[in-house]
Structure 1
Amino acid sequence: MTSQELIDLIYIVVFCMGGIGFAVGPFILVYFLQPRSTRNTVGKTLQVVECGMPPIGDAWIKFSAVYYLYALMFVAFAVDILFLMPVALVYNKPGPVGDLQAFLEILIFVGILSLVIVYAWKKGVFQWQRKTYSDQ
């Protein structure tokens, strides 16, 4: 094994250890930072707390499918933005034909995305209706 192969192997091992550290680290951090005292928590130990606000309804409620559609739309457009940035940087061909072709390709791509927004709007994905719960 040459010294360059050994250095490459060390880089791979360090990268894998960093990935494992990022995956396991939050669990270890939470274990050491969680409160250990049980004083003054009688009756509140099983209550779900979200953002310091008292819960509304049961903790095991199901979310509406609209929430998931909204989240998928966000992820899809975030990925599309990640695609458009490198494309805009790479499409720097000299000459008027190359620039026009790149512009038309990006315009078609953004046009298709616009049709997706119109379709989702017509289907009511962006209408968020809040459910109310009674205390009974």
Structure 2
Amino acid sequence: MEVSLSLKYIPILITALIVFVIGLAMVIINQILGPKRPYAEKYLAYECGLPPTGETRHRFDIKFYAIAILFAVFDVEAVFLYPWAITFDQIGFFAYVEMVVFIALLLVAYFYAWIRGGFQWD
């Protein structure tokens, strides 16, 4: 006896509906029953229990963003490399050549960032 494809997903849909209803109920109940006593300290930025100091909006140096982007690029490499390594015996020589090209391009990007001083913190 075969179960149709749409019937297999009914438990997932029911679970998603229950999660949505519970989340919505929590928000509505909090709005109805929760205390409503606003005061100035409640709206201050939280600084690990310390009173906030200085201006909350200040500019960060671009090197922090550049390092974050470089980290993301080389982290994505690992995401692509893992499934490739797991299925290496099934995908053949062409996929091996493609991965060599992919790693070569990433190495070029790595050395370019290194030469341009992308990894310097000073």
TM bracket, shorter-chain basis: 0.5 to 0.7
Gaps of 5+ in 2: none
The TM-score, its normalising length taken from structure 1, stands at 0.54
1:36-76 residue CA offsets vs partner (Å, 9 max, x unmatched)? 9x9xxxx9666644456776642111222221121111112
Specify the alignment match of 1:134 in structure 2.
none
> Relative to structure 1, is the Cα distance of residues 73 and 89 closer, same or farther in structure 2, using a 3 angstrom cutoff?
same
What's the offset of the Cα at 1:77? 1.6
Specify the alignment match of 1:132 in structure 2.
none
Q: After superposition, where does 1:1-136 map in structure 2 within 5 Å?
A: 4-5=4-5, 7-14=7-14, 16-17=16-17, 48-51=45-48, 57-93=54-90, 98=92, 102=96, 104-129=97-122
- C-alpha RMSD of matched pairs (Å): 4.0
Q: Which amino acid aligns with 1:82?
A: V
Gaps of 5+ in 1: 130-136
CA contact (8 A) 1:93 1:99 kept: no
Distance in structure 2 (CA, Å) of the matches to 1:71 and 1:8: 41
Query: Percent identity of the aligned residues?
Result: 27
The TM-score, its normalising length taken from structure 2, stands at 0.58
